[in-house]
Structures are given as structure tokens and as C-alpha cells.
């Protein structure tokens, strides 16, 4: 209850203006007959009015009161004279209202209107609106009291309807956020009146849409109501509401929230989440319809200080998403580190497209080396993001994001153009009989969302690079399922002279039937096979890996394909791959991904070595026969 200043009067304004004398005993002879008659009429109207009213002097005492006012207080009108008006209508209970009342008595404030809950003589309480205003021509104040109980009851019912869900009868989203904001702002968090912590279980039913779609919304509503009842029971049985309030709310659809004020820690929230999960998973019997559902729950518990309602809900929503992504039918606790990774991912996603225009990307190149001669036959272009905040990022940090939001098309075009331009520059600056080709990774979305064939043709024409010096790499899972437009694009690129390579071969579908139908010219064996060729701490290589690789190489050669082995790290691995017939190798044995000028140096040294070998073939042959394979990491002569 609070006092507020108002600029308009009450329904008794017409009566107030007529009350001009403080005492009833006034000489009749001192007042003209007509004025005396009007005075008696107004006094009669004042006494007969249904609106409780009283005249109060500037000291705050009742001068006179009508019958309605006396009836309201259960007293006779004369018994109220000289009684403090503030005591009769409880104006001193609140400092703000009391101060405003004093200002009205002194004539410094025109009006006061406030709401008060008064005790009726018959025992029930009623809500009233108390109004005070000056009586013109006197120093008195007219006090009136209006019963607004019916209006308050109606407002309360309307608020309940506004703040509660009609299906489950739980508090709705509006009331939940009101309660949450109040809890976060409560003084107990600042002055030690509680634990100073807050917890939230954010719940979503798994597969609820299927219930609505198959059984209808009426059954779906019954299920929601049954779930609400179980959630409320869990909240009551958990015991966390004994010292402070708790709230179970339906936030919309099949989403519910359990708010724990003054929580005692994550264990309390975890116990609540476990009980909720178990309760929801129990079968529901809905008028003979037996249903079983599960739920995913995001759990957040933290100090209330410094926490906003928006921040808490964002954390809960993120954690609920984790629970869904991790397999559903489970609860997951908020993890700051995992959230930091998500925020980083979001930051990368929002800045990826502009980064291409700002020139934040660059290419490095890893050699593809002939296993027989050791010559560099080609290079794979690997993109790096020179991020202004996170430093140099490798493709595994952002390519997945680019594929999801579609920016891979724009980035892929830049990579393709830059790689082709660089390959042509090497060809011009280091002319040789066998120029190195450049291999560029292509995402399936580039085939679907852009004119890849047109882009390649345009870039080759623009840079002057021969189609035979461009190799496009697609993952096995993408190529093996190619049909329609992707297959047509691959065929058109192959007809153009561009080489098509299957990357990470052996780890995807491995549908060998496709190899005879697709325009593929190169298989790149996944590094997991190559790692099995290596001795580790005295353990012999896995013979199965060597058998599989040998079979794949023979199959590829019979189909007219060449084979590249990835992740070659030791000379022993290279020797074994060479023995089974693998054509080229790629890995740290030869070089990591390096800048373009380093590749240029390799090409120069390779050309010089070839020239020297041509002038002294016998010496080169003798040197080759004395070389012995070793399993230890060794730098390649070209590096």
C-alpha cells in the first residue's frame, strides 16, 4: 500500500465546496436566510451520502463525519469527532504516504490518493481508495473512502489469467520472468539474508511434436498438464522450497522451467534434475491412452550477484541444447569452458564473411611427393585464417562453420583463385618439363550453391593455368553419394581436364562400385591407414593395414587411378608405401604446410638436382643404392 499524489478530486467534490464552516453552532442571525438554507441542504446531502466522508482540520483531527464513514468504521459519527484521521484509515503505516498526507494538511499539496486495506467491523477486510483534498475557503480537508474490493478482485482474477498458462495452470513466461527478476534484485543477495545463489532447470520434452501430430493437440494438452503435475510434485518433494520460494512454470510449447531461489549448490540442482527426469520418464495414462516420453534438461546454478535474467536464460538454453545434442533423455550441467568454445564459434561465424573481404585469409602449401623419385609433383593448398583476436586458425576451426552458414562458397572461390594464381606464378618463375599441380579442397555445398564448373573455367582463363595442373579434392562421403547436379558438375570438370581426387578414402562409405562410374583420377588414402605402417615403442606395424592399403592401391591402378598416401611421417612408412605401389606421399616427412616462397625454393632445388643428375647419372645411381630406409623421422632433401 502506498500513497500517491493526484491532481483530480473524488466523487464528493460537489459537497466539499459547500462545507465552509468548522463548527455547527453558528448564529442563524449572522447568516442570510437563503445562505442558511443552502448550508442546511449541503449538510443534509453530506450526511445522507453513501460515500464515506469526513472533514479533517489542519491538525489532522476529524471535525465531522457522515453516517457512511461511521458505519464503515463501526462507530457513531459523533464518536469520531476529534479522532486522528490518520489512525482511522491507516495513513501513518507508510512513510511516503504519511509525508504526502502532512503536505496536504499544510496546503502544500493539492491532492492525495492512496489504496488501503481496512478491517470492517464484521471481521472481513476490504480494499479502499482513500482521497484527500482541500475544502475551498477553509483550512480543512475533505477525506473520502471508496470501497474498491470488487475492482481489486477483478484485477486479481485478470492478472491470474494473464500470468498463468490455461493448459497446465502453471505460471507462464511473463510471471516466470517477473519472479526471476525479483529474485535477482532481492536485497537478501546483497545483505546476507540468503545463500546469494540461484538455480534453474530448463526442461524440454523429447519428441512432443510427434504426439501432437499423431494423436492430436487434445492429447498433447493432456500430456502437458500431466507433466506439469509431476514437475510440481518433484519441486514440492525436493524440499528446496522450505526456506525460500520456488517456481514451476511453462514457458511455452513443451518447455518448462523450475526456478530455485537461494539454492545451496550444483548438487541440489542435480538432485532435482534427476528426480524430474525419472518422473517424466514414467509412463502416462491419459484416459486410457498410455504414453511414454522423455525430457532433456539444462541445469544452471550460480551466484545471483552479477547475473541477469537474460544471461541466466541464455546459459540455460545453451545447456538444454547440449543435452539434446548429446543424445536427449538426460540432464546436462552448464560448463563455462564449453560455453566459451560455443561463444568463440559464434564469434567466428559472425565475422567469417567479412574476413574474406578484409583479406584475413592466406594459403599455405604442403608438397605431394613422388614416392619413387622423391620429386615434388604437386602441392595441396591449405587455408589459414589470420584472425585479429584468436591468432592463426587452421581449417578445422572454421571450415565446418563456413559450410553451415554458406560462406564456404565465397571462401572457396577465393581459395581456388589464389591457389591457381600461385601455381601459374611458379610455372612462370620456375619453368620445367613437369610443372607442379595444385590441389584444392572443395566442399559439397560449393557444388550445390554455386556454379563450380563456371567458376573453375573463369579462374583458369583468368590465371592462364592449364586445367591439368588443377586438382579438386572432395571427401569420400561427398563423392560416393554424388548424383544429379554434383555428378554432372564432376563430369564436366573432368571433361575440362581438371583432376578429381577423393580425400580421406577408406573412412567413409567405401562403396567401390562408384569408382567405376565417377570421373575420379586420384585416391587419397586416409592417414589412419598410414599410421599403421609405423613402429611405435617396439610394436610392429599392423599387417592388416598394409594388406588393405596394398589391395586398395592395386584396385586403383587397375581402374586407372593414382594413389596418394596422407600423414607420411617416417622414412620407414614411405618405404613400405613405395613397396606396395603407392604413387605419391604427403606428410611431415617431406614438409609441413609452408609459405609459397618455400615451395618455390623446393622447386628450384629440385630443378638443380635434376640437372646435376643428368650430368652425372652414375653418381646419382650409386647414391640411391646406398640409401637405407629408417623408421625414425628424417628431413627430406627438398626441405
pLDDT digit string, tens, across residues 625-636 = 334 344 444 333
Residue length of the chain: 639
Strand, coil or helix: 24: coil
For residue 511, what pLDDT band results from cuts at 50, 70 and 90?
low
The pLDDT of residue 614 is above 60? yes
Quote the pLDDT of residue 49.
Answer: 87
Q: Which of the 8 DSSP states describes residue 50?
A: S
Quote the pLDDT of residue 562.
Answer: 94
Output 533 or 129, whichever has higher pLDDT.
129
For residue 75, what pLDDT band results from cuts at 50, 70 and 90?
confident
| Mean pLDDT, the chain, integer | 84
The pLDDT of residue 174 is above 90? yes
The pLDDT of residue 148 is above 80? yes
For residue 588, what pLDDT band results from cuts at 50, 70 and 90?
very high
Rounded to whole angstroms, the Cα distance separating 21 from 28 reads 13
Q: What is the arithmetic mean of pLDDT over 335-354? A: 88
Quote the pLDDT of residue 190.
Answer: 53
Quote the pLDDT of residue 332.
Answer: 95
Quote the pLDDT of residue 40.
Answer: 75
* Among candidate residues 118, 111, 122, 123, the one with its CA nearest the CA of residue 148: 118
> pLDDT, tens digit, for every residue of 306-316?
899 999 999 99
The pLDDT of residue 530 is above 90? no
Quote the pLDDT of residue 38.
Answer: 66
Q: What is the arithmetic mean of pLDDT over 592-603? A: 92
Quote the pLDDT of residue 85.
Answer: 93
Q: What is the arithmetic mean of pLDDT over 585-593? A: 93
Q: What is the arithmetic mean of pLDDT over 313-326? A: 94
520-532: buried (b, 16+ CB within 10 Å) or exposed (e) per residue? bbbbbbbbebbbb
For residue 149, what pLDDT band results from cuts at 50, 70 and 90?
confident
**Chain mean position to CA 594:** 38
Phi, psi angles (nearest 5°) of residue 387:
-75, 135
Quote the pLDDT of residue 432.
Answer: 72
Q: What is the arithmetic mean of pLDDT over 566-594? A: 92
- Per DSSP (E only), the strands in 173-293 are 197-206, 246-252, 255-261, 284-286, 289-291
Quote the pLDDT of residue 528.
Answer: 82
Quote the pLDDT of residue 32.
Answer: 62
| Beta-bridge partner residues of 130 | 114, 145
Percentage of the chain beyond pLDDT 70 is 83
Quote the pLDDT of residue 129.
Answer: 93
∠ Cα 70 74 76 (to 5°) = 50
125-140: buried (b, 16+ CB within 10 Å) or exposed (e) per residue? ebbbbbbbbbbeebeb
Output 4 or 352, whichever has higher pLDDT.
352
The pLDDT of residue 266 is above 70? yes
Rounded to whole angstroms, the Cα distance separating 181 from 178 reads 5
Cell triple for 430: 620456375
Contact in structure between 499 and 520 (CB atoms under 8 Å): no
Quote the pLDDT of residue 288.
Answer: 80
| 51-60, 156-165, 178-187, 450-459: the lowest-pLDDT one | 178-187
**Which residue in this structure is represented by grid cell 469520531?**
80
For residue 454, what pLDDT band results from cuts at 50, 70 and 90?
very high
| 38-52, 77-91, 204-218, 587-601: the lowest-pLDDT one | 38-52
Quote the pLDDT of residue 483.
Answer: 58
Quote the pLDDT of residue 633.
Answer: 40
> pLDDT, tens digit, for every residue of 357-408?
899 999 999 999 999 999 999 999 999 999 998 899 999 999 989 988 889 9
Q: What is the arithmetic mean of pLDDT over 323-346? A: 90
Amino acid at each position: 500500500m502506498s500513497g500517491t499524489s493526484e491532481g483530480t478530486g473524488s466523487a464528493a467534490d460537489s459537497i466539499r465546496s459547500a462545507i465552509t464552516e468548522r463548527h455547527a453552532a453558528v448564529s442563524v442571525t449572522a447568516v442570510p436566510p437563503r445562505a442558511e438554507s443552502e448550508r442546511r441542504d449541503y449538510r443534509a446531502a453530506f450526511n445522507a451520502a453513501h460515500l464515506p466522508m469526513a472533514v479533517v482540520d489542519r491538525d489532522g483531527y476529524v471535525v465531522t463525519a457522515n453516517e457512511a464513514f461511521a458505519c464503515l468504521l463501526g462507530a457513531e459519527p459523533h464518536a469520531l469527532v476529534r479522532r486522528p484521521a490518520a489512525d482511522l484509515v491507516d495513513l501513518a503505516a507508510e512513510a511516503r504516504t504519511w509525508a504526502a498526507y502532512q503536505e496536504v494538511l499544510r496546503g502544500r499539496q493539492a491532492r492525495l490518493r492512496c489504496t488501503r486495506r481496512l478491517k470492517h467491523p464484521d471481521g472481513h477486510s476490504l480494499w479502499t481508495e482513500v482521497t484527500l483534498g482541500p475544502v475551498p475557503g477553509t483550512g480543512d480537508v475533505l477525506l473520502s473512502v471508496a470501497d474498491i474490493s470488487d475492482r481489486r478482485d477483478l484485477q486479481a482474477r485478470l492478472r491470474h489469467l494473464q500470468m498463468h498458462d490455461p493448459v497446465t495452470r502453471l505460471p507462464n513466461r511473463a510471471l516466470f520472468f517477473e519472479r526471476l527478476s525479483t529474485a535477482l534484485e532481492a536485497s537478501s543477495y546483497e545483505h546476507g539474508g540468503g545463500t546469494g545463489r540461484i538455480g534453474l532447470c530448463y526442461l524440454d520434452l523429447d519428441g512432443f511434436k510427434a504426439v501432437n501430430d499423431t494423436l492430436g493437440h487434445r492429447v498433447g494438452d493432456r500430456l502437458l498438464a500431466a507433466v506439469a503435475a509431476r514437475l510440481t510434485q518433484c519441486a514440492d518433494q525436493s524440499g528446496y522450497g522450505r526456506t525460500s520460494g520456488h517456481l514451476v512454470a511453462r514457458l511455452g510449447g513443451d518447455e518448462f522451467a523450475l526456478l530455485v531461489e537461494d539454492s545451496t549448490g550444483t548438487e541440489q540442482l542435480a538432485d532435482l534434475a534427476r528426480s524430474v527426469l525419472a518422473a517424466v520418464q514414467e509412463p502416462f495414462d491419459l484416459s486410457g491412452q498410455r504414453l511414454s516420453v522423455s525430457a532433456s534438461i539444462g541445469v544452471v546454478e550460480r551466484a545471483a550477484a552479477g547475473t541477469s535474467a537474460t544471461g541466466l536464460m541464455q546459459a540455460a538454453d545453451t545447456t538444454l541444447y547440449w543435452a539434446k545434442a548429446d543424445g536427449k533423455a538426460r540432464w546436462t550441467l552448464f560448463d563455462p569452458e564449453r560455453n566459451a568454445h560455443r561463444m568463440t564459434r559464434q564469434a567466428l561465424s559472425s565475422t567469417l564473411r567479412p574476413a574474406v573481404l578484409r583479406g584475413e585469409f592466406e594459403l599455405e602449401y604442403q608438397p605431394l611427393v613422388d614416392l619413387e623419385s622423391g620429386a615434388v609433383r604437386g602441392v595441396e593448398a591449405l587455408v589459414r585464417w589470420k584472425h585479429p583476436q584468436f591468432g592463426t586458425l587452421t581449417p578445422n576451426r572454421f571450415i565446418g562453420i563456413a559450410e553451415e552458414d554458406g560462406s564456404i562458397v565465397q571462401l572457396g572461390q577465393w581459395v581456388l583463385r589464389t591457389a591457381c594464381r600461385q601455381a601459374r606464378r611458379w610455372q612462370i618463375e620456375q619453368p620445367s618439363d613437369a610443372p607442379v599441380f595444385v590441389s584444392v579442397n572443395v566442399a559439397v555445398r560449393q557444388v550445390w550453391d554455386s556454379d563450380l564448373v563456371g567458376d573453375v573455367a573463369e579462374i583458369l582463363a583468368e590465371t592462364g593455368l592449364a586445367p591439368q595442373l588443377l586438382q579438386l579434392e572432395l571427401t569420400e562421403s561427398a563423392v560416393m553419394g554424388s548424383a544429379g547436379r554434383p555428378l554432372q558438375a564432376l563430369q564436366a570438370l573432368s571433361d575440362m581436364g581438371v583432376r578429381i581426387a577423393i580425400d580421406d578414402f577408406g573412412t567413409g562409405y567405401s562403396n567401390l562400385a562408384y569408382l567405376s562410374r565417377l570421373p575420379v583420377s586420384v585416391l587419397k588414402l586416409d592417414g589412419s591407414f598410414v599410421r599403421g605402417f609405423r613402429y611405435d615403442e617396439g610394436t610392429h606395424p599392423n599387417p592388416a593395414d598394409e594388406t588393405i592399403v596394398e589391395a586398395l592401391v592395386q584396385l586403383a591402378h587397375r581402374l586407372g587411378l593414382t594413389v596418394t598416401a596422407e600423414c607420411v611421417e617416417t622414412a620407414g612408412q614411405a618405404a613400405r608405401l613405395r613397396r606396395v605401389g603407392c604413387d605419391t606421399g604427403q606428410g611431415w616427412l617431406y614438409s609441413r604446410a609452408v609459405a609459397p616462397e618455400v615451395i618455390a625454393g623446393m622447386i628450384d632445388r629440385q630443378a638443380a638436382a635434376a640437372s646435376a643428375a643428368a650430368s652425372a647419372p652414375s653418381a646419382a645411381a650409386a647414391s640411391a643404392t646406398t640409401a637405407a630406409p629408417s623408421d625414425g623421422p628424417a628431413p627430406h632433401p627438398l626441405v
